[in-house]
Amino acid sequence: MTTTADRLQTFLDAAPAAALIEVREAKGSTPREKGAWMLVSPEAIFNTIGGGQLEFLAIDKARQLIERNIRTGALDIPLGPEIGQCCGGHVGLDIRIVTDSERARMLERARADDAAQPHVYLFGGGHVGHALARALALLPVRAVVVETRQEALEDFPPDVETRLTAMPEEMVHAAPPGSAFVVLTHDHALDFLIVSEALAREDAAYVGMIGSKTKRATFKSWYLKNGGSESRLTRLVTPIGGSHLRDKRPAVIAAMAAAELMAALA
């Protein structure tokens, strides 16, 4: 699995000279918050402070510092018609050449951030599982696809972890507090078992199951007959992505489900 720290290490290894741009001040309507940052080398960038003309100006300033070997600089930019943006806010930026010690600190912080990312367990590597894994690979979560079939664990993004197990419900038990569980296997009976175990986790941030109103009703009947409670059942999100969806293509379901997950994990 490729992590943010891995990508940062790759960037820094390829950039003997790099500048850090950090948002020192963000007033009014701005694309990013105070503390947002990005790295700039003569050939590449890593991360973002919000894009647009603001970022173009900052990148240009950073590369000037690198070229002239100037240690620090700053920009104070009103986000108005002067730069072709209409946000109306004001952004203050600090820019500095990254030292060797700061590179080490940034990598240490990236590793800590990676370790702190919430886990999202996807049970099922079918079409929707693949689409949702691709969506989550772009987001600040640690996505783990759990499958009972080896062939279903092929072609996932490198940022997504995969687990092969004959007892996927055991992954629910081993998950860290605050994890999210999305259940979309090829077997309804297996779905029901995993969802039941996930609903027993009072610390779960999200429990979702792919399906329909009919599948929800069937699960409810099965769950209550097998010792489940109405209070726990209210935490189940099914169908994932919202019952109002008319377009059932995997990528559409995945986009809506990813939004649900991020709202639950916020």
Domain CATH code at residue 206:
3.40.50.720
Does 89 share its domain with 207?
no
pLDDT score of 184? 97
User: Which residues 6+ apart lie within 8 Å of 235 measured at CB?
Assistant: 199, 204, 207
Structural contact between residues 261 and 182, judged by C-beta atoms closer than 8 angstroms:
yes
Residue 51 pLDDT class (50, 70, 90 cuts)? confident
Distance in angstroms (rounded) separating the CA atoms of residues 38 and 59: 9
Burial 16-27 (b: 16+ CB within 10 A, else e): eebbbbbbeebe
Does 188 share its domain with 168?
yes
Distance in angstroms (rounded) separating the CA atoms of residues 85 and 43: 25
pLDDT score of 42? 97
Structural domain for 157, as ranges? 117-265
Q: How many domains does the chain have?
A: 2
Does 16 share its domain with 130?
no
Does 109 share its domain with 122?
no
Does 167 share its domain with 257?
yes
Mean pLDDT of 45-68: 96
pLDDT score of 242? 84
Q: What proportion of the chain, given as a percentage, has pLDDT over 90?
A: 88
